[in-house]
Amino acid sequence: MALFKCLGLLSLVALLACDGVIGGAGGPGGGDSFSGPGGDAGAIGAQVMHRLNRTEYRNTVRDLLGTQLDPAASFPADDVSLGFDNIAQVLTISPLQFELYEQAAEDLTVEALTTGVRDAIVFCDPNVSSCRDDIFRELASRAWRRPTTDAEIIRLQQLVDVALNEGQGMEEGLELAIRGILLSPHFIYRPELEDDPSSTEPHLLNDYELASRLSYFLWSSMPDDALFDAATSGRLRDEAGLRDEVDRMLSDPKAQALVDNFAGQWLRIRSLDDHVPDYATFPDWDDSLKSSMSQETKMFFGDFLRGDVPMDELLMTDFTYLNDRLAAHYGLPFDLGPELERVSLEPTDSRFGLLTLGSLLTVTSTPTRTSPVKRGVWILEQLLCSEPPPPPPGVEGLPQDGMSGGTLRDQLEQHRADPTCASCHNLMDPLGLGLEQYDAIGAYRTEDQGFPIDAGGELVDGQTFADGREMAALIQGDERFDLCVVEKLFTYALGRPPGSSEHPFLETIAQSSAQSGAQLPEIIKRIVTSEPFRTRRGTMEGSQ
């Protein structure tokens, strides 16, 4: 399966690419009922406390309160690391962010107490003290995603008293308590508590912490009642129970979050929003084409998420989703309406899977032309998890207008004649040039500026391909691809990069998935039931 080789010549790349094999397969972890992939339980990566990012906050208040408001829309953007906006270590809170949380808590509370959702929250007579206990216990435990203590409920009652002591009514009292619940750090963060805060020994998460990890991974939102019940009843403690929950949650419409947020970032669907192709060069480009492309990629990924297609066929599919506009743009003879439909592709068609999706081809281009380098880098980083060494200063970039000397291939070949450029560009350029038959907005073409396009190439290990389709098959067959899919999912699932000592877990999952032609839901289950997902290791300052 290892079609790409790690060449000693490219030491940095080789290091990254071969990183997965260090340490060898670990033994079975923990003494529990899980038969999942093994690894050294003592080597669980450190987990930093996660704060809800904008998307998670938005979804959580939606599911908690049924709100029509979207306070998160005005929150500052979350910083991105490793290609995702849910990486715990860089999710900080500035005073401005706190101020916006405070305002949001007030606005959401006022809305919740004055609209149709009120009855769901205030389900008994709040003038009765024991009813208020029930109201607070119910709301706070959902908001904080864990059972509350009596002391916590008493403290919320004291907030009610603040209003009552001012001579104000019960409504204002309720409002204060609910504002408190929504501004609590237990709501804004997802704390995983330490029995012994001075220890960095790994320990299993409690049931509710595990439920939260699960729901923020699959739904980008809080656990629902059923998941909460599963946690309470201890069903998440065995592998079968956890797997059942994943099945249930993936069949819920909220699993669309994995499409929007995981695939949205991994496959760069979100980037389409900010991408503006040059109108003069591409007069065909408009919002309708853009949204069709975005929709195509989401529906395409949706098939994998539903388990209709094995994950290791991502690059070589015999289907995609098109509407009339997209079919015309791609030059495919389907008779379609404005809604996207699943269509079957022939081996002779110019589309054959992930790499020929218009959205991906577009966002890896510049506004005026294709960028084989960007496309090649994307494939290396996102599909093979092998980051190429970046260019030395002052050498990147091609003139974008008035190019002379033929096709981009010709230009890039001149570029690679320079040995300092060649060492890296031999890695990236062939991958990007294999897709040169797709222009900067993903349309099929056979010529570039009047010159015929040659989409053939040779990989660094000497394997050759005649066109993009053959190249895609080679990439799909690379074992780094299987591992990379697992690594991306793991990173997103835990909001942190895998520690080097966790690679045996990833390798085991990747190998078993590749052997069995596993579908995405199965890979997700293997990650969720793995030791790192169910375990926490705290971290001390300076011990990262």
Q: Which of residues 152-171 bind another protein (CB under 8 A)?
A: 155, 158-159, 162-163, 166, 168
- Least distance from another protein to the Cβ atom of residue 20, Å: 18
Residue from 77, 129, 150, 450 touching another protein (CB under 8 A): that is 77
- Least distance from another protein to the Cβ atom of residue 396, Å: 6
Q: Which two tokens stand for residue 383?
A: 């599909």
Contacts to another protein from residues 388-407, by CB under 8 A: 389-394, 396-402
Report the half-sphere exposure of 469 (CA within 13 A, side-chain side).
10
Backbone φ, ψ for residue 342 (5° rounding): -75, 130
Contacts to another protein from residues 400-459, by CB under 8 A: 400-402
Residue from 9, 80, 128, 226 touching another protein (CB under 8 A): that is 80
Residue from 14, 69, 97, 244 touching another protein (CB under 8 A): that is 97
- Position 205, amino acid: L
| Distance of alpha carbon 222 from the chain centroid | 17
Residue from 25, 100, 131, 473 touching another protein (CB under 8 A): that is 100
Q: Tokens 């060069």 sit at which residue?
A: 281
Q: Which two tokens stand for residue 234?
A: 């201890």
- Whether residue 144 contacts residue 184, with contact meaning beta carbons closer than 8 Å, is answered with yes
Q: Is 81 in the site for another protein (CB under 8 A)?
A: yes
For another protein, the closer of residues 504 and 538 by Cβ is 538
- Least distance from another protein to the Cβ atom of residue 435, Å: 17
Task: Measure the CA–CA gap between 223 and 29, rounded to whole angstroms.
Answer: 27
Smallest Cα–Cα separation from 257: which of 62, 68, 109, 73? Answer: 62
For another protein, the closer of residues 87 and 455 by Cβ is 87
Stretch of residues binding another protein (CB under 8 A), selected from 226-234, 294-302, 469-477, 534-542:
534-542
Task: Measure the CA–CA gap between 525 and 542, rounded to whole angstroms.
Answer: 33
- Least distance from another protein to the Cβ atom of residue 144, Å: 10
Residue 447, beta-bridge partner list = 452
Q: Which two tokens stand for residue 441?
A: 């907005």
For another protein, the closer of residues 37 and 173 by Cβ is 173
Q: Which two tokens stand for residue 462?
A: 């000497």
Q: What is the CA radius of gyration of the chain?
A: 26
Task: Measure the CA–CA gap between 349 and 318, rounded to whole angstroms.
Answer: 9
For another protein, the closer of residues 76 and 234 by Cβ is 76
Stretch of residues binding another protein (CB under 8 A), selected from 24-32, 99-107, 335-343, 516-524:
99-107
Smallest Cα–Cα separation from 427: which of 376, 488, 358, 369? Answer: 376
Task: Measure the CA–CA gap between 131 and 138, rounded to whole angstroms.
Answer: 11
Please count the other Cβ atoms lying within 10 Å of the Cβ belonging to residue 515: 11
Site size for another protein (CB under 8 A): 95
- Position 129, amino acid: S
- Least distance from another protein to the Cβ atom of residue 186, Å: 7
- Position 452, amino acid: P
Stretch of residues binding another protein (CB under 8 A), selected from 269-277, 351-359, 443-451, 513-521:
269-277
Residue from 270, 306, 415, 416 touching another protein (CB under 8 A): that is 270
Helix then strand then coil, % of the chain, to nearest 5: 55, 5, 40
- Least distance from another protein to the Cβ atom of residue 286, Å: 14
Q: Is 206 in the site for another protein (CB under 8 A)?
A: no
Task: Kindly give the residue spans of alpha helices, DSSP state H, lying in 5-147.
Answer: 11-18, 54-65, 95-114, 118-121, 129-144
Residue from 44, 67, 85, 221 touching another protein (CB under 8 A): that is 85
For another protein, the closer of residues 188 and 514 by Cβ is 188
Task: Measure the CA–CA gap between 157 and 439, rounded to whole angstroms.
Answer: 63
Contacts to another protein from residues 302-331, by CB under 8 A: none
Task: Measure the CA–CA gap between 127 and 169, rounded to whole angstroms.
Answer: 10
Contacts to another protein from residues 478-497, by CB under 8 A: 496-497
Residue from 35, 92, 129, 130 touching another protein (CB under 8 A): that is 92
Q: Is 74 in the site for another protein (CB under 8 A)?
A: yes
Task: Measure the CA–CA gap between 307 and 117, rounded to whole angstroms.
Answer: 36
Smallest Cα–Cα separation from 177: which of 129, 224, 225, 212? Answer: 129
Residue from 2, 193, 226, 240 touching another protein (CB under 8 A): that is 193
- Least distance from another protein to the Cβ atom of residue 79, Å: 4
Q: Is 201 in the site for another protein (CB under 8 A)?
A: no
- Least distance from another protein to the Cβ atom of residue 159, Å: 6
- Least distance from another protein to the Cβ atom of residue 400, Å: 5
Contacts to another protein from residues 103-132, by CB under 8 A: 103, 105
Q: Is 190 in the site for another protein (CB under 8 A)?
A: no
Contacts to another protein from residues 26-55, by CB under 8 A: 46, 48-49
- Whether residue 27 contacts residue 501, with contact meaning beta carbons closer than 8 Å, is answered with no
Contacts to another protein from residues 333-392, by CB under 8 A: 363, 366-368, 381, 387, 389-392
- Position 482, amino acid: D
DSSP 8: T
Q: Which two tokens stand for residue 176?
A: 């204060």
Contacts to another protein from residues 495-514, by CB under 8 A: 496-497
For another protein, the closer of residues 134 and 278 by Cβ is 278
For another protein, the closer of residues 199 and 516 by Cβ is 199
Residue from 17, 176, 427, 514 touching another protein (CB under 8 A): that is 176
Residue from 72, 153, 188, 506 touching another protein (CB under 8 A): that is 188
- Whether residue 343 contacts residue 333, with contact meaning beta carbons closer than 8 Å, is answered with no
3-class DSSP state of 310: strand
Residue from 11, 42, 98, 405 touching another protein (CB under 8 A): that is 98
| Burial of 366 (C-beta count, 10 Å sphere; 0-12/13-18/19+) | middle
- Least distance from another protein to the Cβ atom of residue 510, Å: 21
